[in-house]
Structure 1
Amino acid sequence: MRIASLSEFLLIRIERLLDSTLVKPRNTPKSGLSSGSSTSSAGAPLNRQIYQAIREAILAQLLPSGLQLPSSRDLARELAISRNTVTYAYEQLIAEGYLETRAGSGTFIADTTPNQIPGGRLNKPPLTDPSGQSELSAHGAQLIQQAGVSDLQWGAFMPGVPDVTLFPNKIWSRLQNKHWRRSRADLLTYGEAGGYMPLREAIAEYLRIARSVNCHANQVIITTGIHQSLDIVVKLLGEHGDSAWVEDPCYWGTRSVLNSLGIKPVAIPVDTEGMRMRLANLRQPPRFICTTPSHQYPLGMVMSLSRRRALLEYAASRKVWIIEDDYDSEFRYGSRPLAALQGMDTHDRVLYMGTFSKTMFPSMRIGFMVVPESLAGAFATGVSELYRGSQVFMQAIMADFMTEGHFTSHIRRMRMLYAERLQLLQDAIAHHFGDRITLTGGEAGLHLAMGLPPQCDDLAISRVAREAGIVARPLSRYYMDPAFSQKGLLLGYACVPSEQIRPAFDKLATIIKAHWK
């Protein structure tokens, strides 16, 4: 279609752009718009409409370079709008290089054609993969394919999420306001290497008392959580192509981080005593051993003392690094929390990791690790170099929260509540399935694992449950080696209100029974 004038062209372009006639045609009486910030009925400034219409037409090569534009006065008269509105659009396009002015001649479309790359082509290749995953690296594609993240992070029966509705907000707000009133610049800028020292001191003191960890404050390194802790350990102590023993099943995030860094995970099966090292594995020492000895994730067993000692002796003799994820160690029901593996280490081969995501709230994004004293300086520098000091203000509040005793009090209260909810969930499971289903992990943590018969499709159950608004993670997805894979569901109870546990499981039980074969 032939366009009679640039003003008519702009009218058509703007209509297509915003799917409505936002600038009135020439034969329509003036609207009284008289400033560059005037807006249409849809709320879009007219100057931006003109700017965007001309800009898109230039990028689409509908307006050729060298074409002279009408003066701002003439175009404003054609569009029946204020000249200031057109002037703003022209000036913005000139500033961005789309238009150019020539003294005594007027305003022209600039030549924006990119320079030809030697040996290259500017033609856009055909789109063969709308998802864009074909552009991913091998590590990236594997990460996305095996991702375990969920779009639902709250409610029945999301594992690993605490009840944040019962967090002591008033205490936290008081501590936060105290720091805001002080107006300390050091809390609002990048933090010191290793993290906020008062928090490191508070964590060291807590770990010595509650977890029998041997450390002082300089050995405590503040991170954003287990993922970043594992990431920095591998980057500073590992090489691309190294291997790492991981428990099978294990936390999916551990495998994701290792794979993304070029570390090969080697599946080591677990039994009632924890990680079961086999002779074939012992003959090929890894660079790292990733373990959750105090509360295996996701099955919940505790590593026996004999295997702990064997693991430490093997690591010392073969110069292997043990990465201890002290998962949910604070929430143990019916007995005191167990001592950490790090407290037994006499050869400095254990790197201990923890997080406040389960004891406080996940969005805090504060974790920590305890490294051997000989590595403390390097790790503090490494974390600062790669990630910069972050959340310093939050770290200061957390330090006060711990030193004033609120942290231990909060854990005690939540431990009692979670024990009650665990019992409610166990009762609901027993009501529907009696002794036909095995449960593991009920002694500690924020979830339990419910075993299913081998013929049950836990993936299908999980999908149907999700459609019904219930999260029930399939246990089989946590295994690496199909030979050891078991069917089941991970059921979190911490973030489910007590009165909702039974009704939610009744709904889930109906879904399970429909898939029971």
Structure 2
Amino acid sequence: MEKMHLYIELYENLKRQIIEGQYKSGDKFPSKRALGQHLSVSNTTIEHAYQFLLDEGYIYSKPRSGYFVSDIETLPIVNRRHRTLNKNKTMSDFNASHDEQQYQFAFNLSEIDAEYFPMQQFRKYARDVFEDDHLNLLQHANPKGEWSLRQEIAHYLFNSRGVACHPEQIIIGSSTEQLINLLTDMLNKEQFIIENPSYPPIKQVLDKKHIPYLQVPVTKTGIDLNYFNQSEYNIAYVTPSHQFPTGYVMNLKKRTQLINWAHQNTSRYIIEDDYDSEFRYFGKPIPALQSLDTNDKVIYISTFSKSLFPSCRIAYLVLPKKLLNAYNNLNNKEGNTVPAHLQKIVANFMESGSFERHLNKMRKVYSHKLKFILEKLKPYEDQLQIDGALAGMHFTLTVKNGYSMDQCLKNAQEHQLKILPFYHYDKKQSEVKFILGFGGIPFSQLEAHTNALIESLCK
């Protein structure tokens, strides 16, 4: 664990230097190799310190150019205990000129297999929208989103997830974070119960708005409900279909218990983030929480990031009818930030049946990928423990053969493999555990990726 503490210390030190203004927006950061040599630490240490900074938005990368400091004025100011790695060496001592290390293999999260996207069909709907005289799309958009898209989402949710709703209950946004931000205003900044570990943006929104929250452990059957009765907090945020990041699926009994908890108080609501519900590969799909609720207590959220493509930037929520007045009466609502033409394109794509056909195809694609990986890993089941592989596009892998985290990361680097330690999402995690995304790996490279994984983690 000493190595882990070293790069956490480095990450804290670099973040402090950025916050204190030692670097200006756009300044180039040293390459990992150059900084490693300068500080006499391993590239693995630098890699994971940089990954923390990347994910928190303090730096960003440009392909084949390196790392650069983000817009300082937009960064949160946080008080951290002053830490130094080496008083005689700072990053500002030199300018880096080495290129960022490129990985040959990577199990990245939040990537899709773009090769199978029906680009020709999608292009046709885009051309139709811009060629037809949709003059109304040039005007100020409805803050809830385009009516045609909300209609199609309502039909899709009922047929695929059993979610019954009217288009008037649906609000379109550019991201889950934007919609959560809206919900906190509607719910009068009620205190939250969230999963631990959890989807990072939920904590970022709550921290930014100074809203208290209770972090509750996640078990293999879902969030631990024993903590709920010990708390007076009224809003529960959960990812029951494929918990992020563990990949666990909340069972039906616990879903029912959670709904019963919400029914006990008029101020209680459940926010159900159903982000990975389209992709389930084993067993019978479990109904959405919203479809089980009989008392209008579940707020449903999802996105098109996985079902279409990440850069689509369309998310949506389904408000309980009793919250519609709260939305309508909310002052200074943010305008809809999703371009009206893009909303219309997606609506037409769905109306034609192309969206459903695409989803059916991608379920098979991702299922075949996952089953291939699991079959390749099966001979090593005494060394590797796999969890969260029932659904979604990621799973976790725990190394049980005695390898340390540092040894695994060193091996991975030698095999040009990028893998993300689970403690990135759970700082208290002591096991040698990784979270692996497989959606974006082409079939032609799947075997080579899996071999690199085995060679890095197995004896």
Closer, same or farther: CA 370–466 of 1 in aligned 2, 3 Å:
farther
Instruction: Check if 1:504 corresponds to 2:454.
Output: no
- Tell whether the 8 Å contact from 1:465 to 1:508 is kept in structure 2 after alignment: yes
Instruction: Check if 1:492 corresponds to 2:437.
Output: yes
Q: For the residues of structure 2 that align with 1:171 and 1:217, how far apart are their CA atoms?
A: 25
CA-atom RMSD, angstroms? 3.1
More off after superposition, 355-364 vs 433-442: 433-442
Q: For the residues of structure 2 that align with 1:177 and 1:370, how far apart are their CA atoms?
A: 30
State the Cα deviation string for residues 86-131 of structure 1 (Å, max 9, x = none): xxxxxxxxxxxxxxxxxxxxxxxxxxxxxxxxxxxxxxxxx96413
- Tell whether the 8 Å contact from 1:299 to 1:448 is kept in structure 2 after alignment: yes
How far residue 325 of structure 1 moved from its aligned partner, in angstroms, is 0.4
Closer, same or farther: CA 171–384 of 1 in aligned 2, 3 Å:
farther
Query: Which residue does 2:369 correspond to in 1?
Result: 421
Q: For the residues of structure 1 that align with 2:312 and 2:331, how far apart are their CA atoms?
A: 18
Closer, same or farther: CA 214–183 of 1 in aligned 2, 3 Å:
same
- Tell whether the 8 Å contact from 2:241 to 2:250 is kept in structure 1 after alignment: yes
Q: Which runs of 5+ in 2 are unaligned?
A: 1-18, 25-57, 59-71, 81-100
Instruction: Check if 1:342 corresponds to 2:342.
Output: no
Closer, same or farther: CA 272–496 of 1 in aligned 2, 3 Å:
same
Query: Which residue does 2:348 correspond to in 1?
Result: 400
How far residue 410 of structure 1 moved from its aligned partner, in angstroms, is 0.3
Closer, same or farther: CA 236–456 of 1 in aligned 2, 3 Å:
farther
- Tell whether the 8 Å contact from 2:143 to 2:335 is kept in structure 1 after alignment: no
**Which secondary structure state, in structure 1, belongs to the residue aligned with residue 281 of structure 2?**
coil
Instruction: Check if 1:306 corresponds to 2:253.
Output: yes
Matched letter for residue 22 of structure 2: P
Query: Which residue does 2:420 correspond to in 1?
Result: 473
Instruction: Check if 1:159 corresponds to 2:104.
Output: no
How far residue 430 of structure 1 moved from its aligned partner, in angstroms, is 2.9
How far residue 408 of structure 1 moved from its aligned partner, in angstroms, is 0.8
TM-score of the superposed pair, with normalisation by structure 2: 0.74
Choose from 368, 382, 393 the match for 1:435.
Answer: 382
- Tell whether the 8 Å contact from 1:245 to 1:288 is kept in structure 2 after alignment: yes
Choose from 316, 329, 336 the match for 2:277.
Answer: 329
Choose from 69, 78, 95 the match for 1:141.
Answer: 78
Query: Which residue does 2:85 correspond to in 1?
Result: none
- Tell whether the 8 Å contact from 2:192 to 2:233 is kept in structure 1 after alignment: yes
Choose from 132, 145, 166 the match for 1:182.
Answer: 132
State the Cα deviation string for residues 339-394 of structure 1 (Å, max 9, x = none): 11011122222110000000000101001000111323543675983144531100
How far residue 466 of structure 1 moved from its aligned partner, in angstroms, is 6.7
Q: For the residues of structure 1 that align with 2:405 and 2:203, how far apart are their CA atoms?
A: 21
Q: For the residues of structure 2 that align with 1:493 and 1:305, how far apart are their CA atoms?
A: 27
How far residue 496 of structure 1 moved from its aligned partner, in angstroms, is 0.2
Query: Which residue does 2:220 correspond to in 1?
Result: 272
More off after superposition, 204-213 vs 183-192: 183-192
More off after superposition, 361-370 vs 297-306: 297-306
Q: For the residues of structure 2 that align with 1:320 and 1:277, how far apart are their CA atoms?
A: 14
Q: For the residues of structure 2 that align with 1:256 and 1:336, how far apart are their CA atoms?
A: 34
More off after superposition, 441-450 vs 178-187: 178-187
- Tell whether the 8 Å contact from 1:196 to 1:396 is kept in structure 2 after alignment: yes
Closer, same or farther: CA 243–166 of 1 in aligned 2, 3 Å:
same
State the Cα deviation string for residues 243-271 of structure 1 (Å, max 9, x = none): 32221222222222222221233221122
Closer, same or farther: CA 188–493 of 1 in aligned 2, 3 Å:
same
Query: Which residue does 2:358 correspond to in 1?
Result: 410
How far residue 396 of structure 1 moved from its aligned partner, in angstroms, is 0.3
Closer, same or farther: CA 139–282 of 1 in aligned 2, 3 Å:
farther
Greater Rg, structure 1 or structure 2? 1
Q: For the residues of structure 1 that align with 2:209 and 2:323, how far apart are their CA atoms?
A: 21
More off after superposition, 458-467 vs 331-340: 458-467
Query: Which residue does 1:40 correspond to in 2?
Result: none
Closer, same or farther: CA 396–381 of 1 in aligned 2, 3 Å:
farther
Closer, same or farther: CA 466–206 of 1 in aligned 2, 3 Å:
farther
Within 5 A, what are the aligned runs for 1:75-474? 129-131=21-23, 139-141=76-78, 156-239=106-189, 242-279=190-227, 281-318=228-265, 319-376=267-324, 378-379=326-327, 385-431=333-379, 433-453=380-400, 457-458=404-405, 461=408, 465=412, 470-474=417-421
**Which secondary structure state, in structure 2, belongs to the residue aligned with residue 302 of structure 1?**
coil
- Tell whether the 8 Å contact from 2:176 to 2:315 is kept in structure 1 after alignment: yes
- Tell whether the 8 Å contact from 1:193 to 1:380 is kept in structure 2 after alignment: no
- Tell whether the 8 Å contact from 2:143 to 2:334 is kept in structure 1 after alignment: no
**Which secondary structure state, in structure 1, belongs to the residue aligned with residue 107 of structure 2?**
coil
Runs of 4 or more, structure 1, over 6 Å off, are 135-138, 151-155
Closer, same or farther: CA 409–254 of 1 in aligned 2, 3 Å:
same
How far residue 415 of structure 1 moved from its aligned partner, in angstroms, is 0.6
- Tell whether the 8 Å contact from 1:191 to 1:390 is kept in structure 2 after alignment: no
Identify the structure with bigger relative contact order (alpha carbons < 8 Å, sequence gap 6+).
2
- Tell whether the 8 Å contact from 1:140 to 1:260 is kept in structure 2 after alignment: no
Pairs aligned (count): 374
Closer, same or farther: CA 465–258 of 1 in aligned 2, 3 Å:
farther
State the Cα deviation string for residues 282-323 of structure 1 (Å, max 9, x = none): 222213211111222222222122221221121222322211
Q: For the residues of structure 2 that align with 1:376 and 1:155, how far apart are their CA atoms?
A: 47
Q: For the residues of structure 1 that align with 2:354 and 2:439, how far apart are their CA atoms?
A: 20
Closer, same or farther: CA 471–286 of 1 in aligned 2, 3 Å:
farther
**Which secondary structure state, in structure 2, belongs to the residue aligned with residue 141 of structure 1?**
coil
Closer, same or farther: CA 204–155 of 1 in aligned 2, 3 Å:
farther
Q: Which runs of 5+ in 1 are unaligned?
A: 1-126, 144-150
State the Cα deviation string for residues 405-461 of structure 1 (Å, max 9, x = none): 011100110110111110121133234x33321111211101111112497554774
**Which secondary structure state, in structure 2, belongs to the residue aligned with residue 299 of structure 1?**
coil
- Tell whether the 8 Å contact from 1:418 to 1:446 is kept in structure 2 after alignment: yes
- Tell whether the 8 Å contact from 1:269 to 1:275 is kept in structure 2 after alignment: yes
- Tell whether the 8 Å contact from 1:424 to 1:498 is kept in structure 2 after alignment: no
